[in-house]
Amino acid sequence: MRIIGYARVSDKEQMKTGYSIDAQQETIQQWCTDQQHSLVRVYIEPGRSGSKPSQEARPTFEQAVSLVCAGMADGMVVKWMDRFARNVEDFLRVRSQFYQAGKYLISIQEPLLNGDPGDPVARYISVAIMNAYQLQAELSGLKAAQGRERRAKQGQYPGTVPLGYKRVERAIVIDQEHSPMVIAAFAEFRTGAYTLETWTIEAERRGYTTKRDGKIAKSGWHRILRNKFYIGRYTWQGEEYSGDYELFIDDDTFAAVQEILDQHSTGESVRKNFWLLSGLLWSDVHACLMHGVLVKEKFAYYRAVRKGRPDHTIRADELESRVIDRLDGIRWNGERPYTLPEAWRLAFRMSVSMGQIYTYLETDQARRDLLRDIFFQRGIRIASGGGIVAVDLLPGFVMI
């Protein structure tokens, strides 16, 4: 038989415990050799959870499934079935596709799962085992969430730390490379000599960059100057906590900067109903699309709603800034036939990153079009606190 293999790990810990990509590939290759099957290819997908719906969370997996069902192989093999899925609904959906197409789904280490899906006993056994995998994943997720909440209450912010800080293991420490930029921003802005626009220009002249050496946009500086993290306070799951880490911005400076920012915002026009990230944001909290909303016709948010649960709501400028910052770590590798004019293709080839192109676009529509050409629809996964869990890039784009 012609076989497609699939290997996956969801986190670094699995790399240390026999679940590593290399270990899975070796097992698959050896099994195909022993069984005298032809191994067409092993599809690998690191850093992807098997408990999320695969149609949104695992594009490589979906591609492999499509190729099997299209006749490019006679079946798919995995080392353990939890590499295939830790979600019963996903398992049943794809197994049904394989069954209807006359294809095989094989777990090397769990032959009990390889029975005929039409046999009621085999079906019962497979669903029972997959239910155990899903339960294990859900309990692990709950334990991790409880651990993050516990750390938040203890003053150790569990999310992504802002510019000027870094993590050494789990400890939050001052980043000596980038903290001087943040200190200078607060000090200079406090004088009243700058607006966000003029400071953004000045900061670029001074060579101030993100942790990935990308340009810091106006919205990025706004997020930095408004961030209470620098005075030892942060919000986690809707609750504000005091941080247990060293500070380098004092309360008086922070308050003075807030007053200046408030003065600058007075009289600003109400945001138009334009959503830069429309169709791109996927809530990891509620497993659904996030939409732009205006509150009191002034405050802009992206929101996901699930009946009976708190809304997943993040400020629009924060999310947009984080996505724009990510562009500095994305480039075009030229492998996809591109349908845009030659001038665009030339720009993509010559640019260091997509962030470099974004800064030169003059209209909101052009910026949104660029983002839609980089990210899959629903391809930007958002955590409860507004952090970006992962991004799915369209073919032709790669992370630097």
* 273 has a pLDDT exceeding 80: no
Mean pLDDT over 170-196 rounds to 92
Q: pLDDT tens digits for 288-346? A: 888 888 776 678 889 888 777 888 999 998 999 999 999 999 988 876 555 556 667 77
Which domains does the chain carry? 2-147 (3.40.50.1390), 154-265 (3.90.1750.20), 281-399 (no CATH)
Question: Confidence band (pLDDT; 50, 70, 90) for 46?
Answer: confident
Instruction: Label each residue of the chain as H, E or C.
Output: CEEEEEEEECCHHHHCCCCCHHHHHHHHHHHHHHHCCEEEEEEEEECCCCCCCHHHHCHHHHHHHHHHHCCCCCEEEECCHHHHCCCHHHHHHHHHHHHHHCCEEEECCCHHHHCCCCCHHHHHHHHHHHHHHHHHHHHHHHHHHHHHHHHHHCCCCCCCCCCCEEEECCEEEECCCCHHHHHHHHHHHHCCCCCHHHHHHHHHHHCCECCCCCECCHHHHHHHHHCHHHHCEEEECCEEEECCCCCCCCHHHHHHHHHHHHHHHCCCCCCCCCCCCCCCEEECCCCEECEEEEECCCEEEEEECCCCCCCEEEEHHHHHHHHHHHHHHEEECCCCCCCCCHHHHHHHHHCCCHHHHHCCCCCHHHHHHHHHHHEEEEEEEECCCCCEEEEEECCCEEEC
pLDDT at 13 over 90: no
Tens digits of per-residue pLDDT, 359-389? 888 888 888 888 988 999 899 999 988 999 9
